[in-house]
Amino acid sequence: MRRDTFFSLFIEYPYFTKDQLRLLVRKFSIPESTFNSYIHKGLRDKLIISLKKNYYVTRFFFEKHKTDISYLFLLANVLLKPSYISLETALQYYGLFAEAVHYNYISVTQKLPRLFTNRIGNYSYRNINEKLFNGFTTLKGNFEFTIALPHKAVFDYLYYYTKRFTKNVHPDLLEELRIDADVLSKNEKKSLKELVAKYTSVKIRL
């Protein structure tokens, strides 16, 4: 099997792994040295793009979907499991955050903090306590992705912010951080207040 034919089998895959490639190796009895050469030259010739170690996407698929936010968010979920999109990335998605966040996709995980940098941008993951690993939902564009609910994205942001800055935190913190809380519904504001009161020492004005 030729190298270009080898990768063309994954041309409609949003991502694929080295283990999936190995299934082809076994099916077509491709030597290990040839298999590794295919990957090395595929990356060199930009037939495939590395997302992280042993995770790839074909250049064709990447070019076709690189501006699709649902695809970019799907990758955030895939590169480290379990995780959900939150903090600045989710806040911007919901129109809660005044600042533009480009090429940085921030998620929350129960695992250790990680950072993956690839052609798309930076995929960073912040650790959160198991009891706070909740408040997320699955949304669907062209691809399904898991993201914090609006009020939970705000809470996660406040949670990490107040852990770093324990002084000079005042009731107008949301306004100071340029978070537009008016986007939240009445029920979402109530849920946010309950989380903040339970897990932080901050008092916020909504």
Q: Same structural domain for residues 90 and 188?
A: yes
Residue 18 lies in a domain: yes
Q: Same structural domain for residues 103 and 123?
A: yes
- pLDDT for the residue 168: 53
Structurally, the chain folds into a number of domains equal to: 2
Dump pLDDT digits (tens) for 79-120. 999 999 999 999 999 999 877 777 899 999 999 999 999 999
- pLDDT for the residue 19: 93
Q: Same structural domain for residues 50 and 76?
A: no
Q: Which of 28, 48, 63 is the last residue of a domain?
A: 63
Residue 205 lies in a domain: no
Give the span between the Cα atoms of 104 and 118, in whole angstroms: 11
Report the CATH number at residue 28. 1.10.10
Q: Same structural domain for residues 30 and 111?
A: no
Average pLDDT, the chain: 90
The residue range of the domain holding 164 is 69-199
Q: Same structural domain for residues 24 and 116?
A: no
**The model's pTM:** 0.90
Q: Same structural domain for residues 15 and 49?
A: yes
Task: Say whether pLDDT at 190 is over 70.
Answer: yes
